[in-house]
Amino acid sequence: MSGFRRSERELFPGKHATIGTHGRQVSEDEDDFRTDFQRDVHRIIYSQSFRRLRHKTQVFYFPQNDHVSTRMDHVRFVASASRTVARCLRLNEDLAEAIGLAHDIGHAPFGHQGETFLSAIIDSCQCPELKRRMPTFSHEVYGLRVVDAIAKRDREPPGLNLTWEVRDGIVSHCGEDFKTCRLEPAGNEKDLDRIQTRADAGNPATLEGCIVRLIDKIAYAGKDMEDALEAGLIGTEQVPVNIRERLGMTNGQIVRTLVGDMVRESSGKDYIAISPDLGSLLHDLIEFNSRHIYHSPQAEGYKSQAGKTIQYLFDDLRKELRARKRFTSDRYPPREKKDDSVPLPYRILEQFVTQDMKDVYRADDPDELIVLDFVAGMTDSFAIRSVSDVFIPRMTV
């Protein structure tokens, strides 16, 4: 070990702290300065897939108010609060931060609605091989595919080669009903590569992963309410009195109340919990948000158009991929990167297949999988621009 690096046991002295890793998919030498999980933090934040989260929906499409959250804001909130809880419990802060930052890296454009649109495409497309590999689209399971095979740092091959514990935290960060107040680690016997659905993932294998799973709900419940107040979607008087009085009326108050409760309920324990009393109030807040925010006319006002955007792009790009023989046929010379006569998404798809993901896809990988990977990685704004480029005629002189 380098003389510059402090040991994890020194940094995170709790009896139940995760110390060391079960390894990476490809083994690597230790870093002279950073812990394994600290290295994962850096790999995540420098990846293109992570950076695109700044232009992906949290709740509201294309917010024009800079104070309304994007998906990037949400993961930073989760990572920050998770690190705070891990510090108070003397657990591995680096691991909690890494899972928090990457937990939503598999989100499609248009938030959870985009997830629903892609699931419908998988269900309806005539491709048994895609359905065998990906029975449905869930962002946490797909997030594991992103960090394993798609996410890349600039000019480096795809795949971040993260630790087993961070990969487990990503794929296991969802699943319980919203009344769950206590999470016990599932242990490290899971075969992550065999997980295909949310139900397969089970609980996270580490206490740090359990922290992120509960913090995720806390972080979005209060902030989504605050964003809705900022956007004028709801009024203060609509928020139930018991939530206002017990949890607070600002996101900061809500997070402080619930995080403090989590620390007290979990201290010295081999599980992570919030008290049933405050857990019930958190459930009430999420139910309030569901009725008044997530399924409001304003939040779902462009749901139909967003769904058509995803479907149009999937169908058209699949046709383009097949017509050009995955850009390998001698009949189709490589296009100039700045050839404006070719629609932008066609040019970027070609770059994605022949450069970004070069040698990743095998001959038996269906075209549908390639196109799904490409569309799922789009930001909201790029998806809209792509539809415009493909379907709207350009003016000519």
Question: Three-class SS of residue 24?
Answer: strand
Class of residue 266 by CB neighbours under 10 A (exposed 0-12, middle 13-18, buried 19+):
buried
Q: How many other C-beta atoms lie within 10 A of the C-beta of residue 135?
A: 15
The tens place of each residue's pLDDT in the chain, 397 residues long, gives 556 778 888 889 999 999 999 999 999 998 989 999 999 999 999 999 999 999 887 776 655 556 667 888 999 999 999 999 999 999 999 999 999 999 999 999 998 889 999 999 999 999 999 999 999 999 999 999 999 999 999 888 999 999 999 999 999 998 666 677 899 999 778 999 999 998 899 999 999 999 999 999 999 999 999 888 887 889 999 999 999 999 998 999 999 999 999 999 999 999 999 999 999 999 999 999 999 888 887 767 778 888 999 999 999 999 999 999 998 876 666 666 666 778 899 999 999 999 999 989 999 999 999 999 999 999 999 999 999 998 887 766 6
CA 262 from centroid of its chain's CA atoms: 23
Nearest to 24 by CA among 198, 183, 161: 161
User: Could you tell me the two tokens for 239?
Assistant: 């928020």
C-alpha 355/C-alpha 299 separation (Å) is 37
Helix or strand (DSSP H, E) at 135: none
Asked if 55 contacts 381 with a C-beta cutoff of 8 angstroms, the reply is yes
Q: What is the pTM of this model?
A: 0.94
CATH superfamily of 8-105+151-294: Hypothetical protein af1432 (1.10.3210.10)
- Domain segments of the chain as ranges: 8-105+151-294, 303-391
Token digits for 267?
């201290």
Q: Which residues of 91-101 are buried (b: 16+ CB within 10 A; e: fewer)?
A: bbbbbbbbbbb
* Cα separation values, 132 from 106, 123, 129, 157, 302, Å: 19, 11, 5, 26, 31
